[in-house]
Amino acid sequence: MDNRFMDQPLAKICKVRGLDKLPKEVMDMIWEFSPHALFWRSISTIARLPKTSEPLRKIPLDSILSWERGGSLVTSPSPSPSLSLPPYVRLTVDLNGICKVERLPKRPVYNGDTTESLAFVVEHTRDISNIDAEVKDGLVRLRLPRSQPEPRIWNTPSPPDFATCTFRPVQGVFLATSTCGRSQ
């Protein structure tokens, strides 16, 4: 674990006295027992905050060509972005939020691969045309209008076509989907 963020101001913000005085080895041991705890995620987020802040920009999600957390945002120069860009948008989400936005020329083919560390949204631009991306300090978040249905979130970068999914009750789970003979 990198504890360069354990400076005195951060220890005061966290209201954990003496945190900044612990040896690195002890901090590493504590972290190893709780790497996914909200505390460490908060520290990670605070550490990423830039020293200077850029103004908040609102950009239609369907005009974004590509973006990765901490990187530059690439948008379409076209006045009608949905006509000139690939028709699908894939968002990749990790524990800290949206980490990648990319355009796809076609819907990815479902292959059954899943992940436990990332979540994905794959939507056609016609289904997200009302969603804005708010960009600030190398981060992106979505602003959905009240009338906009929430995007479907998947544990695979190549989700099945939602129209082909069938739903069935599973004990202990509210709903599960079945696609191509596979259970998710």
Q: Give the residue among 134, 183, 126 at the shortest CA–CA distance from 155.
A: 183
pLDDT digit string (tens) for 106-150? Answer: 999 998 899 999 999 999 999 998 999 999 988 999 999 999 888
pLDDT digit string (tens) for 90-108? Answer: 999 998 899 999 999 999 9
Put simply, whether the predicted model's pTM sits higher than 0.75 gets the answer: no
Helices (H), the chain: 8-14, 24-33, 38-48, 81-84, 125-128
Q: Which two tokens stand for residue 15?
A: 């209201």
Q: Are 140 and 98 in contact (CB under 8 A)?
A: yes
Q: What are the boundaries of each domain within the chain?
A: 8-48, 57-183
